[in-house]
A and B are shown apart, each in its own frame.
Chain A
Amino acid sequence: MVGDDEAPSSSLVESFYRHRLPVRITHWINALCILFLLGSGLNIFNAHPRLYWGQYGADADGSLFSIEAVDRDGGAHGVTQVGPWHFDTTGLLGWSKYQGDYVARGWPHWLTIPSFQDLADARHWHFLFAWLLVFNGLAYLGWSLFSRHLQKDIAPTRNDIYAIPRSLIDHLKLKHPAGEAAKRYNPLQRVAYLCVIVLISLMVATGLTMSPGFDAVCPWLIDLFGGRQSARTIHFISASLIVLFVVIHLAEVVLAGPINEVRSMLTGRYVLPKEPRR
């Protein structure tokens, strides 16, 4: 880290100011929020580990997805149901170890916040970070619109859209843009960041739809999502897609050069990868 932005090396390595301060701050606050929201969300899910579609849904109604402990062959098993399929997920989902003993719980303790099962506490964490996420997200969106970061850096241009297949192939070949081309977000990056903005907005909207108080303010939102239980299912699917984004995002950071990438999100300065010699 030391020395890269000092004068002597700058003649050898070309670095430029890639991420402005508001992007860096809101990025890290957002990352912390997502971590706590996912962990506490899984703990909340464990209180009723079943998902439905429609206005209502409880034990007597058929579930789309469930994680349950089932007594079978004289022993307990964790069974995860996805539509018509059932999977034995003993040890991971439905029936897993907590402090040395097997317990019936949807998601295992090492994935949830708090690690012990407590709906009240999980809700407290969830709402604390949900508010922080909303304020941080509004600050980011407000700044991004005002500074034209959203319009210039994130929104894909017509050329970006045409270049998506090419960009996809490059990503799969682990080829990353170099030189001048690395100064802007590449087409897939733009699409991915735009998707994550949409997904987080969808998380907030479906989250609010689960609130009976908010539903009285905004009843049309329930109908937009096809019911409260549908909204809960969409909330879960969006969260899963955010996890998918995070996995790919982190993999790309590692593949593109973790030190350079992480540093650029801390200090703003990004060292341009050299063009390969032809």
Chain B
Amino acid sequence: MTAARNITRRAAILAGFAGAGALIWNADNLTLNPSFSRVFHAVEDWTRMSQRMLLQPGQLAKEYSVADISPVFKPNGTFNPGGAEYDAHIAQDFVNWRLKIGGLVRHPMSLSIAELRGLPSRTQITRHDCVEGWSAIGMWTGVQLGLLLKAAGLASGARYAVFHCADNLDGEPIKGGEQGPGQYYESIDLVDAFHPQTLIAYNLNGKPLGVPNGAPLRLRVERQLGYKQAKYLQRIEITDSFRNVAGGYGGYWEDRGYEWYAGI
């Protein structure tokens, strides 16, 4: 081996180790660096595209049997949205609660719980996976979101369903430090919106949803993590983009650094 090649190789090895060392040493700084988050976003896109390539649009999440149901379905996030308005709804057993569907639809709708319960329903026993790592299995009954969206009729440009909720989880700052609006919201694309297991659920384990689990209505998107399963649903807005909603990343937790695509 010639001396020149030796030096080049030595330089390459040293550069490689210096780079790796710098990466390890600066991991905390890189985590907080907004430009580096582009790398993380690219990984998220890559993950989403890979999963979407493997997943058939209608492929179902695993459904379990009654024997598999968790004894306790752990609530997380908001346990009770509180406030005079929500307290009044609890007192009235949610008879005056409305689910509004608007935005890029031809026929905006406003439905009561009784009207939703009158529609064809789907019951499924599925596993809820929290991003934190725990899982709970529950039996959900509700109306398929696809059915409601077909009735509302999507207008041209419709790409996302944004879910606006009654709970406010303020306290945790938006990524980057500034305190953002803490109203819970979520969004999914039309692939998931029209998935047969995507429900506007009103029953858990055969009983009306309890307050800690999202009474009176919560979303079920079974191929994604728990933070997508928005509780206390008030309004579904069909949009072409979620960039102008709250923090702009498509959800309460997404605005705080979590992935919009929560399939992993």
Contacts and interface: CB of A to CB of B under 8 A. Distances in A.
Interface in A113-171: 113-116, 118-121, 123-125, 127-128, 131
Size category of the A interface is 35 or more
A60 B130 contact: no
A127 B64 CA distance: 28
A266 B175 CA distance: 41
B263 A211 contact: yes
A125 B72 contact: no
Interface string A186-227: 000000000000000000000000111111110100100000
B132 A47 contact: yes
Interface stretch (B94-102, B203-211, B222-230): B222-230
A131 B74 CA distance: 31
A44 interface: yes
Interface residues of B, number: 53
Contacts, number: 141
Contacts of B264: 127, 210-214
B28 A116 contact: yes
B256 interface: yes
Nearest to B1: A5
Contacts of B44: 124, 127
Interface stretch (B54-62, B147-155, B240-248): B54-62
B261 to A, nearest CB: 8
Interface stretch (B110-118, B134-142, B158-166): B134-142
Given A60-B74, A127-B43, A232-B133, A214 B51 contact: yes
Given A114-B31, A116-B28, A48 B132 contact: yes
Contacts of A123: 131, 258-259
A28 B16 contact: yes
A55 B64 contact: yes
A113 B29 CA distance: 11
Interface of B: 1, 9, 13, 16, 20, 23-24, 27-28, 31, 37, 39-40, 43-44, 46-47, 51, 54-55, 59-62, 64, 68, 70-72, 74, 127, 129-137, 175, 222-225, 253, 256-259, 262-264
29 contacts: A32-B23, A39-B27, A47-B131, A48-B132, A48-B134, A55-B68, A55-B127, A55-B137, A56-B127, A58-B136, A60-B70, A60-B71, A61-B71, A61-B72, A114-B27, A119-B132, A120-B175, A120-B258, A123-B259, A125-B27, A131-B47, A212-B223, A212-B262, A213-B263, A215-B61, A216-B223, A217-B54, A219-B62, A228-B135
